[in-house]
């Protein structure tokens, strides 16, 4: 298991966004990888690297049955691993992938388990409970409940409060910053998307659009507008690279320091615009530009993984799942934007989306072949502190990939 020590150093998880294992470059002659040289000296089992033929290829070139195999593998992971009633974070992801009727392995609805077993006074969910991770980002579970379509005014479970009470408690606890020189009203921009998305989607179902926060009057217009501006500012290196027609370089800064590479920040903005906020002129066109910039990252991100796989095949499971993480979130995010009428891919963009989907499907099939999704493998990863984050990534990324593929299929 020594290999997982390096894996942790290279991991691009949804809890953080550390340095990538190799430089990003979509050019035909990519620069040499810069992963830690010590990787080559690690002992332990060496996973078979994926075929060098797995690249950005047309969807028409998918191996026979790849789509069905991939969807089946992802569904199995979500239904088995995300249904653990002891793991609130996993339950929230299962809820997103499967909807409000998702059932935990103890027979209760996942939403009822979350409220009955993890909700605290406030009402709100804690970051952790002992050694159990509940929601590493504030309002992650609240956002999952709202996005999954749980009704605002029906009690959750036998004794739980209505969802509206949780939304109002979140809004009341919000402490916007209005200090001079601040570029955002959010004390922590990486912690804001889940809350703001929950407020926007709740408002679309009759929730409040203005309220009294911990710092005084607050509004959905201000929150959603600030989130859009934050996404624009943090995307500036991608915008600059696209303007010059050069590869995007990941640097642990800007959008790359955000959870899942900024996917949740993007989805928060998308959900708010789909719900009608901010209402300022030009907001939708600004977002459409950001959607195109998100897609522009695909060649750089995937080439980075290919470079690292060539040098460090013993990290195949870790690296291929980085691909699943990026592509699954991308297809989900851009699929929502297209579904909600906020962005329409041009011909070249449509082709790149199809290629990204084909690569994601092949990634999932490859992970299945490597045994990553086997119950025994996942149990072993979940049982060791040094590999628990890898376990969470496999589960969470499977949920987002499944949702992304389903949205893309519905669009077709």
- Where do the structural domains in the chain lie, given as residue ranges? 3-411
Mean pLDDT computed over 57-74: 83
Structure token pair of residue 63? 């191996």
pLDDT at 33 over 50: no
* Whole-angstrom distance, CA of residue 388 vs CA of residue 398: 15
Question: What DSSP state is assigned to residue 35?
Answer: S
pLDDT in tens, 271-323: 999 999 999 999 999 999 999 999 999 999 999 999 999 999 999 999 999 99
pLDDT in tens, 353-399: 999 999 999 999 999 999 999 999 999 999 999 999 999 999 999 99
Q: Which residue in 271, 399, 279, 373 sits closest to 320, CA to CA?
A: 373
- Of these ranges, 32-41, 132-141, 169-178, 326-335, the one predicted with the greatest mean pLDDT is 326-335
- Which run of H or of E encompasses 133? strand 132-133
Residue environment code for 91-113, b if the CB has 16+ CB neighbours within 10 A, otherwise e: bbbbbbbbebebbbeeebbbbbb
Which pLDDT score, from 0 to 100, does residue 29 have? 27
pLDDT at 48 over 90: no
Which pLDDT score, from 0 to 100, does residue 54 have? 38
Structure token pair of residue 31? 């620069």
- Percent with pLDDT over 70 in the chain: 84
Mean pLDDT computed over 72-90: 97
Identify the band that residue 406 occupies on the pLDDT scale cut at 50, 70 and 90: very high
Which pLDDT score, from 0 to 100, does residue 177 have? 84
pLDDT at 22 over 60: no
Question: 148-156: long-range contacts (C-beta < 8 A, 24 or more apart)?
Answer: 148/95, 148/96, 148/99, 148/100, 148/102, 148/111, 149/99, 149/100, 150/100, 150/111, 152/202, 152/205, 152/206, 152/207, 156/111, 156/112, 156/115
Record the pTM: 0.88
pLDDT in tens, 176-232: 987 666 678 999 999 999 999 999 999 999 999 999 999 999 999 999 999 999 999
């Amino acid at each position: 298991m020594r290999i997982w020590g390096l894996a942790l150093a290279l991991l691009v998880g949804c809890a953080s966004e550390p340095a990538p294992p190799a430089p990003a470059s979509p050019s035909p002659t990519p620069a040499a990888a810069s992963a830690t040289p010590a990787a080559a000296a690690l002992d332990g089992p060496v996973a078979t690297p994926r075929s060098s033929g797995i690249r950005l290829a047309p969807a028409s070139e998918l191996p026979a049955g790849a789509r069905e195999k991939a969807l089946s593998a992802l569904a199995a992971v979500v239904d088995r691993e995300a249904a653990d009633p002891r793991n609130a974070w996993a339950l929230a992801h299962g809820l997103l992938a499967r909807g409000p009727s998702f059932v935990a392995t103890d027979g209760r609805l996942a939403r009822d388990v979350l409220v009955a077993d993890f909700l605290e006074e406030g009402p709100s969910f804690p970051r952790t409970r002992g050694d159990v991770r509940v929601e590493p980002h504030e309002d992650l579970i609240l956002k999952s409940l709202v996005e999954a379509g749980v009704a605002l005014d029906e009690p959750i479970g036998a004794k739980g409060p209505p969802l509206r009470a949780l939304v109002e408690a979140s809004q009341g606890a919000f402490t916007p910053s209005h200090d001079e020189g601040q570029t955002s009203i959010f004390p922590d921009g990486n912690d804001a998307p889940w809350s703001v998305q929950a407020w926007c989607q709740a408002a679309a179902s009759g929730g409040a659009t203005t309220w009294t926060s911990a710092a005084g009057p607050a509004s959905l217009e201000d929150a959603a507008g600030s989130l859009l501006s934050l996404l624009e500012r943090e995307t500036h290196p991608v915008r600059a690279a696209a303007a010059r027609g050069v590869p995007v370089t990941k640097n642990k800064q800007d959008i790359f320091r955000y959870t899942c590479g900024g996917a949740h920040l993007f989805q928060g903005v998308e959900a708010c615009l789909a719900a009608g906020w901010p209402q300022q002129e030009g907001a939708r066109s600004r977002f459409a530009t950001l959607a195109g910039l998100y897609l522009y990252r695909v060649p750089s991100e995937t080439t980075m993984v290919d470079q690292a796989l060539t040098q460090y095949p013993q990290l195949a499971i870790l690296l291929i799942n980085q691909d699943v993480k990026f592509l699954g979130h991308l297809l989900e995010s851009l699929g929502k934007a297209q579904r909600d009428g906020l962005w329409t891919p041009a011909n070249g963009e449509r082709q790149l989306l199809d290629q990204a989907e084909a690569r994601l499907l092949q990634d999932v099939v490859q992970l299945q072949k490597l045994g990553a999704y086997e119950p025994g493998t996942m149990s072993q990863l979940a049982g060791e502190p040094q590999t628990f984050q890898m376990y969470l990534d496999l589960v969470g990324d499977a949920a987002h990939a499944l949702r992304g593929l389903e949205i893309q299929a519905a669009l077709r």
